[in-house]
Amino acid sequence: MKYTTKDILKFTLPLALGVFLVWYSLSQISIETLIQYFKKANYFYIILGMLFGLLSHLSRAYRWLFQLEPLGYKIKLGNSIMAVLATYLINYTIPRAGEVARASIITNYEKVPFEKVLGTIVAERIADLIMIFLIVVVTLFIQFDFIYSFLIDRFDPLKLFIVALVGILGMLVVFQYIKNGKSKLALRIKTFVNGLIEGALSIFKMKKKWPFIFHTIFIWAMYVLMFYVTSFALPNTSDIPFSAILVGFIAGGLSIAATNGGIGSYPEAIVLAFSLFGYAADPSRAFGWIMWSAQTILIIIFGGLSLILLPVFNRKNQIKEA
């Protein structure tokens, strides 16, 4: 198999950025200090947070059954769970490769056509994007006074108005370009946006749409709860307001897309988010490392077990086919 320069960069750039950010993060706090924070942490809350994270993954696997059923496929819940958990582990090696591997696992063991499985995963990601957007909107609503004061204190209101006006006008120009444009770029963007809208609407046409919506909300509630509960592990972050938790959660979530599994970027994103609320860098960075480590250990254990147990779990079917 030949790899293009683009393929190589997709793998090496996030990894290189992650290595640099690990170095940067550890250069901002001594290893001894970080170890002390880990030693003083209350592991009851860390393990409880990991449990909430695991529940979100199990819910995602169960929700997937609702998407495949209308296509005429009833897969085993065990295969769905292990495919989902394996996805997260594989994403630590090559970003977004886990989704392809997840589709391949179900195609291999459940004989569902690859393109149909991948289509359900794309629809699932659309649901996730909607939830992220809603969390951002709720955070902006809760923190409106803080964000407004923050911007006014640091920027000239007239300049902010001009920037906002230029931004709105720019968006209108881009919208008209996409709507009426005939270029390849405009058509690709239009197709992508239409696909997002169609995928989002398809959720409401699903036979089990309400269970799907319930599990979608549950998944993201568990993600937020995992982050919130883990904050009680350190005395320095145990009193942090819920609004700051939401800002930190969003920042941490975005950082995961920047590097493989958020390595290096996650702790620094937490420092940036918590610093807006006046929290010191060291405990914020330590919390970021504890949070990232807990998630990573969870994925390594259950994702690794899933990859090992998948062939064992499906051995009977493979013997019958042979």
Residue 303's pLDDT band (boundaries 50, 70, 90)? very high
Would you say 266 and 254 are in contact if contact means Cβ atoms under 8 Å apart?
Answer: no
Mean pLDDT computed over 240-261: 85
Q: How much is the pLDDT for 201?
A: 62
Percentage of the chain lying above the pLDDT 70 cut: 80
d(CA 267, CA 25): 7
Residue 276's pLDDT band (boundaries 50, 70, 90)? confident
Highest mean pLDDT among 45-54, 114-123, 183-192, 208-217: 45-54
Q: How much is the pLDDT for 154?
A: 59
Q: How much is the pLDDT for 178?
A: 67
Whether 9 shows a pLDDT value over 90: the answer reads: no
d(CA 227, CA 220): 11
In three-state form (DSSP H/G/I as H, E/B as E, the rest C), the secondary structure along 100-141 is HHHHHHHHHHHCCCHHHHHHHHHHHHHHHHHHHHHHHHHHHH
Residue 294's pLDDT band (boundaries 50, 70, 90)? very high
71-85, 102-116, 263-277, 305-319: least confidently modelled range? 305-319
Comparing C-alpha atoms, which of 321, 305, 308, 311 is closest to residue 57? 305
Q: How much is the pLDDT for 50?
A: 95
Q: How much is the pLDDT for 217?
A: 93
pTM equals 0.81
Q: Give tens-digit pLDDT for 203-214.
A: 666 778 888 889
d(CA 234, CA 277): 17
Residue 317's pLDDT band (boundaries 50, 70, 90)? low
Whether 222 shows a pLDDT value over 90: the answer reads: yes
Question: What are the angstrom distances between the C-alpha of 24 and each of 18, 65, 263?
Answer: 10, 42, 12
Whether 221 shows a pLDDT value over 90: the answer reads: yes
Percentage of the chain lying above the pLDDT 90 cut: 30
Q: How much is the pLDDT for 99?
A: 84
Q: Give tens-digit pLDDT for 120-139.
A: 888 888 888 888 888 888 88
Q: What are the sequence ranges of the domains in the chain? A: 31-321
Mean predicted lDDT score pLDDT of the chain: 82
Q: How much is the pLDDT for 220?
A: 94
